[in-house]
Structure 1
Amino acid sequence: MKYSEDVQSYSSSSKKSSSAGITTTISGRDFHGNESSAYWLPKDEEEQDRLIGQHFAIKEVYEGNFLTEVKNYVPFTTGARVCDVGCGAGAWLMDMAMEYPNCTFEGVDMVDVDKFEAMPSRINITYGDVTEKLDFPDSVFDFVHMRLFVLALREDEWDHAIREAVRITKPGGVIQLLEYYFTPNFDDHPAVGKVANAIIDNMAARGQDPYIGPKQPRLLTQAGCKVIQIDNRVIDMSKNTPAARKFLWNWERVLKSMMPILSPHLGLSDQNEQQAFMKEVLQGLPTCGNFYWMYTAAAQKL
């Protein structure tokens, strides 16, 4: 599959040498061992490659790396200081650095991320946990990007996390948030409904909110910001579009990443049962239409 080859090519040019921190291995996959965190996806190389592919899938849907209104507030062309909170594999940072050579970039992640071998000097990635205090002074960034924390934060951690992102943003600067949002009706395909409900149930057991996406504008306003743009987009995998193909690629891999955690809940006792179930889900996704959404909000710090 060409998309897979493209992701592997990008990944090989930006491979991390190691990730520090306590590691827990479940069913052959490496997870972080930070007991204070609710994050439940792996941190291994296979997952890093998926995150890179997911980045380009999101970029395909939004036709860029930030909402259109953001450029009216952030001086990307002349030079801005940018932070990616929860930078993961660093794909968004690398992509932005190539597009905006006059900007400088900081990435922070809960798992200590070493510099990529091909990392431009304008990018620095360090350890950071947004549920605590990030190691930055107040008001230092023109643009703070934060996305896909729905599987990482507990419901009662969102307010602090967003306020921390706002704290490090300059007055007049912009914060952008993006989260997935599952639609509640999964009757179109039993296997898709089963895995979606398993994800939601697992999140609830961890104190997470699967429906945080629509709440982002309110949280940003409460944190002292003015919302400048809201752009919510459906991910319709029933259509044979480039975006749909990229997200099907992503779902094939995220199911593998989730399976060590979800398989007991799904009653899948061995690898053969897991493989058969994942195949059934992937066959069902293109029949489900408006399966899930991305909710994105950008706001200016007042």
Structure 2
Amino acid sequence: MTRPPTIFSDFDFKEFDRWQRQHYLLKSARKANAWASFNTTKGAVIIDVGTGNGIWALEMANQYPNVQVLGLDRVLPNDQQNGPENLRFVQCDVTEAWPMGDNAVDFIFQRSMGDAMKQEQWGPLLKEMYRVLKPGGYIELIENDFWRHNPGPVQQAFDAFIQEQCKVTGVDFQLTDSLDTLVNETGFDQVDKKTMDIPLGEWPADQELKQFGFINKEAHKALLKNYKDFYVKQWGLSSADFDLAVQEVLEEFDEHHSFTRFHCWVARKPL
């Protein structure tokens, strides 16, 4: 269920749009683009791993004009020419060696790559982060649980299917638990893990949470629509039956007070 390595397909554009919504959702809920305390002096370097549509890297480059921001991904954003001078995108497979030397980077950010990485790739990826990071530099990782919390019966069927697909593709369904051990075993210290629950749907009474729930629900709706062909083929459903199942899931979110649980790890490379 990872995005295909094609350049600017219709699928990519739809996913870029969904990632844009998720970016603003997380930025609004976290009240910041980053929680780590990183070096922002002239010449400092920030890496955005799996940059996607590049929005996080773009905003960080605008916010910190003295810092060099590099976005790494297999598929690069479609509008690279209009960014600030301190922003650059590099096409590479982040599961392999990165095109930079040891102890070269001040801050590394990564989010929402749980479904794009096989279980055995996480250890080497964290070691590569450790290699290029300067002593005293920080990493910040954000991943959400693959399953929805407080799911209705139809959502439970979707979650069970995702768990089975993870087994088939080698993706770690329990990644948000596994990363605790991997970050520590890599050698990082001062590991700080925070958990954040974001509603699915407009069921909260709090107006800010209601707005977050609306955006999160729309992002989930876009996710299911973007992968419709995959689900229809795997489940042997008709197009109409799948659309009905999606509608039932969206209704369940409000009925069952469902939510998405995000986890954030901030850790330092020892001095």
Query: Normalising TM by the smaller chain, what interval?
Result: 0.7 to 0.9
* Distance of 2:144 and 2:134 partners within structure 1: 27
Which residue pairs with 1:138 in the alignment? 102
Residue 32 of structure 2 aligns with an amino acid whose one-letter code is: G
Give 1:158 deviation, angstroms: 0.9
Give 1:146 deviation, angstroms: 1.2
Q: 2:171 aligns with which of 208, 215, 227?
A: 208
Q: 1:264 aligns with which of 210, 224, 233?
A: 233
Give 1:78 deviation, angstroms: 5.6
Residue 162 of structure 1 aligns with an amino acid whose one-letter code is: L
Give 1:291 deviation, angstroms: 3.6
* Distance of 1:293 and 1:102 partners within structure 2: 34
- The alignment status of 1:251 with 2:224, answered yes or no, reads no
- The alignment status of 1:285 with 2:253, answered yes or no, reads yes
Give 1:77 deviation, angstroms: 6.1
Give 1:226 deviation, angstroms: 0.4
Which residue pairs with 1:18 in the alignment? none
Q: What secondary structure is seen at the aligned counterpart in 1 of 2:195?
A: strand
Q: Is the 8 A contact 1:90 1:107 kept in 2?
A: yes
Q: Is the 8 A contact 1:113 1:126 kept in 2?
A: no
* Distance of 2:190 and 2:216 partners within structure 1: 28
Q: What secondary structure is seen at the aligned counterpart in 1 of 2:4?
A: strand
Q: 1:178 aligns with which of 132, 135, 142?
A: 142
- Normalised by the length of structure 2, the TM-score is 0.87
Q: Write the deviation string for residues 133-158 of structure 1: whole angstroms up to 9, x where unpaired.
A: 11111111100001111101111111
- The alignment status of 1:31 with 2:4, answered yes or no, reads yes
Which residue pairs with 1:4 in the alignment? none
Q: Write the deviation string for residues 95-131 of structure 1: whole angstroms up to 9, x where unpaired.
A: 2122222221001002244552421111100112122
1:183/1:253 CA distance change after superposition, 3 Å: closer
The aligned runs of 1:72-87 (5 Å cut-off) are: 74-76=38-40, 80-87=44-51
- The alignment status of 1:127 with 2:91, answered yes or no, reads yes
- Normalised by the length of structure 1, the TM-score is 0.79
CA RMSD of aligned residues (A): 2.5
The aligned runs of 1:46-57 (5 Å cut-off) are: 46-57=14-25
Identity %: 25
Which residue pairs with 1:231 in the alignment? 194
Which residue pairs with 1:162 in the alignment? 126
Residue 227 of structure 1 aligns with an amino acid whose one-letter code is: Q
Q: Write the deviation string for residues 76-107 of structure 1: whole angstroms up to 9, x where unpaired.
A: 36663100010000011112122222221001
Residue 211 of structure 2 aligns with an amino acid whose one-letter code is: P
Which residue pairs with 1:37 in the alignment? none
Give 1:178 deviation, angstroms: 1.0
Where structure 2 has 5 or more consecutive residues not aligned to the other structure, the ranges are none
* Distance of 2:44 and 2:191 partners within structure 1: 19
- The worse-fitting range, judged by mean Cα deviation, of 256-265 and 207-216 is 256-265
1:46/1:167 CA distance change after superposition, 3 Å: same
- The worse-fitting range, judged by mean Cα deviation, of 83-92 and 286-295 is 286-295
